[in-house]
Structures are given as C-alpha cells and as structure tokens.
Chain A
Amino acid sequence: MSNVPTSMNLSSKTNTPNMLPAKVKMRMTAIFIAVLGFYLFSSYKTDASFLELISGLGNMPLLLEEFFPPNLSLFSKIWPSLAETIQMAIIATTIAAMLCVPLSLLAANNIVTNKYLYNTVRFLLNLLRTIPDMVLAIVFVSLFGLGVLPGILALIVFSLGILAKLISETIESIDTNPLDAMRASGANSVQMISFSVVPQVLPQFSSFVLYVFEINIRASVVLGLVGAGGIGQVLNNQLSIRAYPNAMGIIIIIFILVIIIEFISNKIREAII
C-alpha cells in the first residue's frame, strides 16, 4: 500500500533511475540549505535588502543628474596625477620584479632543498598576500607622510607576495633534464642558471610581471584615497566636496586608462608566450 503513492508521484520520471544515492542527495541538500541560510543571515546582517535597492532605483534619475554629464574636460588638469599613478605602478612593479627573483628561488622546492627554509619563505609570502594594499598604504602614509613614496612601498610589498608565489611555482615546474645534461657536461651553477633555468622561466616571468603591473595600476588608482599619491587623491578631493560630475569624469578616465593598459599588456603577453 505504502508504495503506491510514491510510485504514483514519481510516475513521470520512473524511467530515469536516480543518478545519486540518497546519502549524497541528503548531504547536498544540507549543504544547499546551509549556504542559503548563511546567505540570508548575511543579507540580514548587512542590511542587503533588495526592496531597498529597488526603491533606491527610484532615486536613480536624481543620482544620474548628480553624476552626469561627467566632466571630461578635466583631462588636461588631472593628467599629471594620472601620469603619477602610472609611474607609481611602473616603479613598484620593476622593484618587485627585481626583489622577487631571490625570493622566488628561495620559495621553490627544487632549488632550496632545506625544508625549513622553504616553508618559512612560503609562510612569509602567504602572510604578505593577506595584508590588504590599502592597509599597507595607511601604515606607510603615517610613517613617511603623504605622497607617492608610501604608495610605491605599499604596491611593492603587496605585489611581491603575488609575484614571488607565481614565479616560484613556475620554477618548480621547469624541466630538469637540461639541467642534468649541463651538469653532466661540466657546467658550473652560474652557467646552469643562465643557460637552462633562465630561458625556461623568462617568458612566464615577463608575463607574470605584466599581469602584476595590471593589478598594480588598478591598485594604485585607489591608493590615493588614503593619501598615497596619484589620481585617487584627486578623486577623493572631488568626492569630499561633492563635485560628482568631476568625480564621474575622473572615474571614466580611470576606466579608459585601465582598459587601454590591460589591452596593451594582454597583447604583449600573447606575443611572449
């Protein structure tokens, strides 16, 4: 008797056997409910109500009126700060690229055979990557005063973690056969590194440096919000005096700049690899 209603309920799909065992299904449902529950809780805690968003959309015309038309005529005036942003990113990326060479060698387990040293360097790199760039900028601004120097330092520290991790992974995955062959034919370690390791790693290295440069451009744009130089500082000033058309103009100019730089960097990376 008890089987009848169930089979009736399933009659539409009785032909397709259930792919997943009941236990897996139950676990998946539990996970789904947990994720959804935490989402609802998070929304509640962050006041994320879509009703508010939709009612906020009613203010949209007003908002657009405030922001638009964006004042793009600022370009010639803000160009020096924009250039400063790019220059900060270039300097920081260059220095980080230099510093990361010894660091990434230390963090590669086929170069450093000492397990403790390897793990310590790895741990330090992971630590570097968890500190947000803005926090670094805040601390450096307090240390060195307003200007580009704290911004550059923050970018160096921040990008060093990413770059060293990516490059150490590349070094770990190199083909060691050429190394062995060179050692067998009597090459010394400098020769081995310059003729076997470097050619294998160089394309990846350049590609990662360009990638980190893109990240740094985006990061350096906002560092100015805490006083660390560049266009962000101008943006912050315009926002604090509620000059929204100017702010929107700056945001659009930043947006175009980032797209252009990413496009160029992508083309170079494609050409390298």
Chain B
Amino acid sequence: MTLQLPPKPKKNNVKIAKRVAIAVALVALYTWTFMGIDIDWARAVDRMTNNFEKIIPRLFSPSWEDFPAVMDSMLETIYIAFAGSLMAAILAIPLGFLAAKNMTKIPVLTALGKWVLSAIRAFPDIILAILFIVAVGIGPFAGVLAIAIGSTGMLGKLYSEVLESIDKNIVEAMEASGANKVQILFHGIIPQIIPEFLSYAIYRFEVDVRASTILGVIGAGGIGTMILFANINRNWEQMGLILLVIIVVVTVIDVISTQIRKRIV
C-alpha cells in the first residue's frame, strides 16, 4: 500500500501577486514605523531606575485618609456618565431611525444619517470635551456634553442596526389591518426594539463611566481632576487610591450592568 498525499491545489498567479503586494506593503509600513519612532532608551532606562522606587511602591500603599474626597469625585464621574449616557440614549433614537434603511426610505437621508453617526464616532471623547470646555467653560457640564455627543455616535449606529433587523411581518400585518403610522410605531415597532435599545444604553453607560474617569484631566469634571492634581503634586499614594477606586467602581458597575442586560434581553 502506498500512501499518497492528495494533489496540491494549483497556485493562482493573481493570488500570489496579491500576497506579494500585501507583504511588500506590510514591510514598507513597518520600516516606516521603526525608522520614524525615536526612543531614547538610555534616558528612559536611567529615569526608570531612578523613579521606580519613588513611584511603584507608593502606588501600592494608597492613602486611605483621602478616601472620602476620592469617593466624592468618583460619584461626580458617575453623575457625568449617567447624565451623558441618558441624553445620548434619547438623542440617538431619532438618529437611529434616520440611519435605518427600512425606517427612512430615502437613501440620501439614510446615508446622511450613517455619515453623521460615523463622523461623531471618529472624535475621541477628550477632543469633544476640549471643544465643549471652550463653549460652556471648565466644569462637569462640559464633560456631560462630551459624553452625550460622543455616545450618540455609537448608540445611533447600534440602534439603526436593531431597527434594520426587526420583524417586518408584524408591521405588514398591522398595515393590512388598517393601522396608521403612529399605531404601527407604538404597537408594532417599539415593543420589538425596547429591550435591545435599553440593553445597548446600559452597555454604553458602562463604557461612559470608564471614559468619564479621565475627562477631568483636561478640566471637564470628575475624578480625572484628582488624577491631574495627584500627578502634579507627585502624590503617588493618592494616585494609588484613585486607581483602586476606579478599578473597584468600574468593575462593580460592569457586573451590575451585565446582570441587568441579561435579564432584559
């Protein structure tokens, strides 16, 4: 008995050319990257050996006497995230309807809605916060607006995807039995989308709590302000406590939100 391997598939020239092109592009990209980046390793290592003892052990010995103040700032962060996400959850509804193909029957408007949503998503939260700080002044309100606008991009996209996947049979049945547009919306569409809309809104709140912890670094309120001052004052014990509080609070919110979302959907 002779064992024989199955015949090898024939190589396709176009495919090979494509692969070579991809390989060349990748090599070029990485060459450009490593030529361009310039790290002064000697200085970095030098600084690290000097600073390691001054920073790392202190990070792990949090200053508990600051706990009330840190908790206060963390609560402000949660308020910012909550107010922002709820605003976004409401703002995203019309945008989601606009960007959903089966709701807005006009392709130009759908494309416009999708474009607006992805344009919003391209802005990092912090950049939005910078713009709002100039508009409404330093303070948590700028943070709320940044979170609200920033979250609308993602929520609107998710909402439009939910809307595009709804069961059209129900809507058609209602149309056939003579329901008007408002009745179809309230009895045919909304009951189908509410659980998923809620679930996404809660998920986004989770993301926003994380995002709003740093808004204060540029002056938009919350615990980020404390991070900034702890950094300026080289108060690493306080930084350690802040990190600990962020980790614990974010984890708790994640767990609660996951439980709620499991029950809704």
Contact = CB atoms under 8 A, between A and B. Distances in A.
B239 A130 contact: no
Contacts of B139: 46-47
A86 B119 CA distance: 19
B251 A143 contact: no
B124 A46 contact: no
A39 B30 CA distance: 48
A142 B55 contact: yes
A46 B141 contact: yes
B98 interface: no
A132 B228 CA distance: 13
Interface residues of A, number: 61
A53 B145 contact: yes
| Chain A interface, DSSP helix/strand/loop, else mixed | helix
A11 interface: no
A243 B232 CA distance: 24
B65 interface: no
B243 A131 contact: yes
B83 A46 contact: yes
Interface string A123-141: 0001100111111001100
B122 interface: yes
A143 B48 contact: yes
B126 A130 contact: no
Given A52-B141, A90-B33, A130 B246 contact: yes
A267 interface: no
Given A142-B55, A239-B130, A262-B122, A91 B246 contact: no
Interface string B148-192: 000000000000000000000000000000000000000000000
B246 A132 contact: yes
Given A53-B145, A130-B250, A143-B52, A46 B134 contact: no
Given A87-B33, A132-B210, A239-B130, A258 B141 contact: no
A53 B83 CA distance: 14
B196 to A, nearest CB: 17
B47 interface: yes
B168 to A, nearest CB: 21
Given A42-B82, A87-B33, A126-B251, A145 B47 contact: yes
Contacts of A90: 29-30, 33
A35 B86 contact: yes
Interface in B240-265: 242-243, 246-247, 250-251, 254
B124 A132 contact: no
Interface in B204-244: 210-211, 213-214, 217-218, 221, 224, 227, 231, 234, 239, 242-243
B59 interface: yes
Contacts of B135: 56, 59-60, 63
Interface in A44-98: 45-49, 52-53, 56, 59-60, 63, 66-67, 83-84, 86-88, 90-91, 94
A139 B227 CA distance: 10
Contacts, number: 158
A45 B251 contact: no
A143 B227 contact: no
A84 B37 contact: yes
A147 B44 contact: yes
Contact of B140 (A48, A133, A239): A48
Contacts of B56: 143
Interface string B110-138: 00000000110011101100110011100
Nearest to A46: B140
A105 B199 CA distance: 29
A172 B141 CA distance: 43
A46 B140 CA distance: 5
Interface stretch (A2-10, A179-187, A220-228): A220-228
A164 interface: no
Looking at B40, B139, B214, the one whose CB has the most chain A CB atoms below 10 A away is B214
Contacts of B250: 130
6 contacts: A59-B135, A88-B37, A131-B247, A138-B231, A145-B47, A147-B40
A-B residue pairs, 9 tightest by C-beta: A46-B140, A42-B79, A134-B214, A42-B83, A130-B250, A222-B126, A258-B122, A45-B79, A87-B33
Interface of A: 35, 38-39, 41-43, 45-49, 52-53, 56, 59-60, 63, 66-67, 83-84, 86-88, 90-91, 94, 126-127, 130-135, 138-139, 142-145, 147-149, 152, 218-219, 221-222, 225-226, 235, 239, 244, 247, 251, 254-255, 258-259, 262
